[in-house]
Structure 1
Amino acid sequence: MRKKIWMASGAVVVVALGTFLLVGGNDKETPTASETSNIKQLVQEYSSSGMKDLSASITSEQLIVTDNNNKSTKYNLPKDEFFVSIAPYVKNTHPCATHSLTGCQGELTEQEFSVYIEDNEGNVIVDQAMKSQSNGFIDLWLPRDKKYSVTIEQDGVKAKAELSTFKSDNTCVTTMQLVESI
């Protein structure tokens, strides 16, 4: 029996003042609990805004923000969730392992896709229409330490992939080419 246990949310609220305080006031390696609780908002802001004065990348464990003076601030990601960003494509892609929130650019920007993700136990994790951002990526927070089957569809073309959310796994997926369904 399949059961729906978690669904990605398309709605994100960005609080600009909170982001300024997080970025401007953190010189330490380990963020406070309040900073960690706001990490998803911070990731979303970097991913969707195209900031030029900072660079931000995300590993399986940390968000790393580097300013123009080459000063890095690291934020720990939630212990139970894994960030992964997927750029479905038709013709153009790039190799990537660690997602650059401010630098990676996918081919299919601001387009609607049907996204379906199921874990190895048959639990549906995501089953919804999602829109790629201006950078061509679909950002997802998935439960950690699991394997998933991912299907992305758009207008009769489909991409399928297996991915996992373990400590050493990639946060950037640029290998899902949309092809005609057979």
Structure 2
Amino acid sequence: MLAKTTEVLCTRSDMGRYMRTTQFVLGATALALALTGCSAPGPGSGSSAASGESAAVQPGSAEALLAGLDLADEDVTGVIDQLDRLPVDERPTDLMASVQRDELVLTDGQQAATMALPEGKSYVSIAPFVDETHDCFYHSLTTCLGELSGKDVDVVITDSKTGEAVVDESTATFDNGFVGFWVPSGITGTIEVTAEGKTGTTDFSTRSDGPTCVTDLKLK
């Protein structure tokens, strides 16, 4: 099981709405938490807050923050699914999108908004690896990178209480090296991934203390 590290959401090593918008103002600590972690691509890109400078973040709307990406009319599942699948070179450099346990947090450093996740559903994004990985807890849709991009994978996610496979799918990792699934909230279990003759397994949790970002699944 991944240990929660409150000081980061996602750090890399060497690899460089059903519910509508809820408006809110992030406090300084929460904003720093939402923006820390995976580096935004390119020197000087992104907002001053994303680069570590303090900024007064105002309440905004998800529609406004997503308008430039043609996602303003999408519900939260559509936003998450599409952002996670974006080609890396098409990612916005001024938007942070953090998948937390019950909501998606969006901010450009000037405005911030949340979108509540569907009741009873959690999003888990998995980056299997062979040689290189990074620490992660809350998945950043716009900055996180995994090692294996565009690889065919077989994924089985099992609820340990019932023994039921809540996911049993052959798919491919996204351009960012991750593959994401909507699974029931409030469960624990195992994730097994097979790719190119290698298999790895790790524990997961979609309870309140569980990560949305799984980066400790080593294929061997």
Q: TM-score, normalised by structure 1?
A: 0.76
Does the aligned pair in 1 maintain the 2:62–2:106 contact within 8 Å? no
Please give the alpha-carbon distance, in whole angstroms, between the structure 2 residues aligned to 1:157 and 1:25. Answer: 40
Does the aligned pair in 1 maintain the 2:194–2:219 contact within 8 Å? yes
The alignment status of 1:46 with 2:83, answered yes or no, reads yes
Unpaired runs of 5+ residues, structure 1, are: 1-20, 27-34
Does the aligned pair in 2 maintain the 1:23–1:73 contact within 8 Å? no
Equivalent runs, 1:10-159 vs 2, <5 Å:
22-24=62-64, 38-49=75-86, 50-67=91-108, 69-120=109-160, 121-159=162-200
Please give the alpha-carbon distance, in whole angstroms, between the structure 1 residues aligned to 2:183 and 2:139. Answer: 15
- Structure 1 residue 23 displacement after superposition: 2.1
3-state DSSP of counterpart to 2:77: helix
Does the aligned pair in 1 maintain the 2:154–2:194 contact within 8 Å? yes
| Residues 126-163 of structure 1, C-alpha deviations (whole Å, 9 max, x = no match) | 11101110100011111011112211001221110111
Aligned residue type for 2:130: V
Query: What corresponds to 1:165 in structure 2?
Result: 206
Query: What corresponds to 1:5 in structure 2?
Result: none
Aligned residue type for 1:75: M
Does the aligned pair in 2 maintain the 1:86–1:174 contact within 8 Å? yes
Please give the alpha-carbon distance, in whole angstroms, between the structure 1 residues aligned to 2:212 and 2:97. Answer: 13
Please give the alpha-carbon distance, in whole angstroms, between the structure 2 residues aligned to 1:109 and 1:152. Answer: 14
- Give the ranges of 4+ consecutive aligned residues of structure 1 lying more than 4 Å apart after TM superposition: none
Relative distance call for 1:25 and 1:156 in structure 2 (3 A) is closer
Query: What corresponds to 1:12 in structure 2?
Result: none
Please give the alpha-carbon distance, in whole angstroms, between the structure 1 residues aligned to 2:188 and 2:65. Answer: 36
- Structure 1 residue 110 displacement after superposition: 1.0
- Structure 1 residue 173 displacement after superposition: 0.6
| Matched-pair identity in % | 30
Relative distance call for 1:72 and 1:154 in structure 2 (3 A) is same
Q: TM-score, normalised by structure 2?
A: 0.64
| Residues 69-100 of structure 1, C-alpha deviations (whole Å, 9 max, x = no match) | 43111111112101110000011111011111
Does the aligned pair in 2 maintain the 1:115–1:129 contact within 8 Å? yes
- Structure 1 residue 22 displacement after superposition: 4.8
3-state DSSP of counterpart to 2:101: coil
Unpaired runs of 5+ residues, structure 2, are: 1-60, 67-72
